[in-house]
Copies of this chain bind each other. A is one copy, B any other.
Amino acid sequence: MKQIVTFGEIMMRLSPPLNYRLEQAADLEITYGGGDANVAASLACLGLPAAHVTCFPDHQLGRAATQQFRRLGVDMSRTVYTPNTRLGLYFLEVGSALRASTIVYDRFDSAFAKLDPAAFNWDEILQDAQWLHWTGITAAVSATAAQACREAIAAARRLGITVSADVNYRRNLWQYGQRAQDVMPELTAGCDVVVCSEGDADDLFGIRADEDAENSFASMAQKLTERFPQIKRVIATKRKTQSASHERIKGMLYDVAQGYQQTPYYDITPVVDRIGGGDAFIAGFIYGTLKLDSAEAALSFATAASALKHTIHGDVNLATVAEVEHIMAGNTTGRLLR
């Protein structure tokens, strides 16, 4: 089977144990993650061939990050190592009940942000691929990262490879002198599948649902597919967050041909780790698109995968296909499996 290739930054995540505050911590737990790499890793855990393309500093931390994704089965052989750079970091304090989790980012001037687009030969990288996935975060990090992303999408289109994106607008990240509203439309135009919430559609593309639409997500998504005719499917999760420890999510899909669908809500309490829930969703949708026989099944699989991710430590959804299918089949009472 051909590879699914993702592109983007991987950061070291440093987090106090349990629900301790950063200032209380005597030590920090390490995991590694990134919105795109998490998708590759989830796909590898689901048994599909996945590769991630990124740039690391040429020292122990870069090697350690490589090892953690290689451990999960992601092909990391295209990693570019750059001397005298740093690894992007983020510090996560995990909340509880009504206390929110908080993130302190420390990712500026990372090896990835400073990447040289010429270091990536996309035609070669994608020659054995069937799918390219990227996120709006990559475009936000730096002009060169956005450029590499642009080139990757162009190569994918040339090679007839499916392209998906999580447009994921993070206001604070866009600091290199270009506006998301100027950069993202061109990149998005090259995609077949996008994850896009109503907020992101408004912020990035100025697209809003009709006020009197029966379903506001569907209305927005329809407009989005009209604006960007390459896009055939728009997906998203809807969260009814009860507290930092209690989440409810459903999946939504607008398909140009088949219209709007959604899943029932999953109730998740306590939440073990909500980071990467969206990445698990898109990974599940890619899996479902490639392996299951309907968009409905893909959406179902994606949503169950995302729900399961909320019960797993770290950025990456370590669930297997059997585990996701177990949830899809309605086994949500957590009965002991011997």
Contacts and interface: CB of A to CB of B under 8 A. Distances in A.
Given A14-B14, A28-B14, A243-B269, A22 B100 contact: no
B314 A24 contact: yes
A292 interface: no
Nearest to A76: B73
Contacts of A178: none
Contact of A269 (B18, B68, B97): B97
Nearest to A334: B244
Interface in A57-91: 59-61, 63-64, 67-68, 70-73, 86-87, 89, 91
A237 to B, nearest CB: 14
A319 B251 CA distance: 35
A26 interface: yes
Contacts of A274: 336
Contacts of A338: 102-103, 105, 170, 172
B23 A334 contact: no
Contacts of A27: 17, 27-30
Contact of A243 (B71, B73, B314, B332): B332
Query: Copies per complex?
Result: 6
Contacts of A46: none
Interface in A163-187: 170, 172
B93 A336 contact: no
B26 A28 contact: no
Interface stretch (A228-236, A279-287, A303-311): A303-311
A21 interface: yes
Report, nearest first, the 6 A-B pairs whose CB atoms are least far apart.
Answer: A244-B334, A71-B71, A99-B311, A98-B332, A23-B64, A22-B60
21 contacts: A14-B14, A17-B27, A18-B313, A23-B67, A25-B30, A26-B30, A27-B27, A61-B91, A70-B70, A70-B73, A71-B71, A96-B272, A97-B267, A98-B308, A98-B311, A98-B333, A100-B334, A241-B333, A241-B334, A242-B333, A243-B333
